[in-house]
Amino acid sequence: METSRFVAGVPVDVTTGQIPVQRLLCPNAGVMTGPGTNSYLIGHQELALVDPGPAMPVHTQAIMQALGGRPLKWIFVTHTHGDHSPGTPALQALTGAQLIGLAPHADAQYQDRSFVPDRLYGHDEQILCDGFSIRLIHTPGHVSNHLCFLLEEDGMLFTGDHILQGTTPVILPPDGNMSDYMKSLEDLRHLPLRALAPGHGEVMLEPEQMISTLIRHRQRRELKIVAALTTLKSCILDELVLLAYDDVPSHLLPWAKKTLLAHLYKLRDEGRARLLAPAPTSAGEKADIETSIWEVL
């Protein structure tokens, strides 16, 4: 197996078992996308693809080239953020593949609203493909419509942004939810996993260890947030993030603030923190969460 090369547009074999899996990196590297978005091609003859990526013709062309004339029958989409799903219509138009995923929640922010799956599948449903099967695992948390896909023959889980390599996912409230995220991580422990194929970064071969590390990371962060709230007594997000995320580079703090808010909502729901009713900014205007005061209980 070769997983060390990150060159956009060049297929890399990331097979870990019987079913061929190729990773195709999209040239959209950045702060939130790391080396770029991974698209995965699965199968021998009739192929499946996980995450078409953003609407970038160069990436769609690279996928078509990697197909090498073989039919693409299934497009699986982990979630509808701009770096994962907007490339779908172009690819579907070229291949006629069936589209599998969950449409975004009506209130969700930063979502690809053009996304409409061909058929609604539910959690734990199995889709029989050409010599392999994919099981849908609903993993709300990063966003509410997040799915992971289990390649059952090889125990390889395509994790989208639920589990990343080299970094931790941002949880985006209110559609993203920290309690859901923790539960979704715990639920993965019951699956027969042998490899994790993330939406960004390298394939990981020790799934149990990775999942445990992520759960511990979130638990430690929660403890740190409670300690920071105790120290500051009452504070706004901007004050709290500096103390609770003092190990995070300053350019990532705007994103850390979103995950911090997800942690705070979880603490509030558990009766461990409270959000003081903020003063309205002007008549009829919604109070701003940025200026809201948080306290530990």
Enumerate binding residues for Zn ion (CB under 5 A).
81, 161
**Cα–Cα distances in Å, from 131 out to 34, 103, 200?**
32, 28, 26
Instruction: Report the nearest approach of Zn ion to the CB of residue 37 (Å).
Output: 9
- CB of residue 90 vs Zn ion: minimum separation in angstroms? 20
Beta carbon of residue 131, minimum distance to Zn ion (angstroms, whole number): 30
Residues 127 and 50: beta-carbon distance below 8 Å = no
**3-state DSSP call for residue 219?**
helix
* 78 vs 95 by CB, closer to Zn ion: 78
Tell how strand 273-276 and strand 293-296 pair up: antiparallel
Of residues 59 and 81, the one with the C-beta less far from Zn ion? 81
Q: Which amino acid is at 125?
A: E
User: Least distance in Å: CB of 206 to Zn ion?
Assistant: 23
Q: Which is nearer to Zn ion, 161 or 202 (CB)?
A: 161
CB of 104 to Zn ion, least distance (A): 11
Closest contact distance (angstroms) between CB of 276 and Zn ion is: 31
- Residue whose CB is less far from Zn ion, 112 or 161: 161
Contact 239, 253 (CB under 8 A): no
Q: Which is nearer to Zn ion, 39 or 95 (CB)?
A: 39
237-245: long-range contacts (C-beta < 8 A, 24 or more apart)?
A: 237/261, 237/289, 237/290, 237/292, 237/294, 238/290, 240/294
- Report the distance separating Cα 297 and Cα 293, nearest Å: 13
**What is the layout of strands, in order, in the sheet containing 147-151?**
126-128, 133-138, 147-151, 156-160, 195-198
Using the minimum distance from each CB to Zn ion, give the nearer residue, 95 or 165. Answer: 165
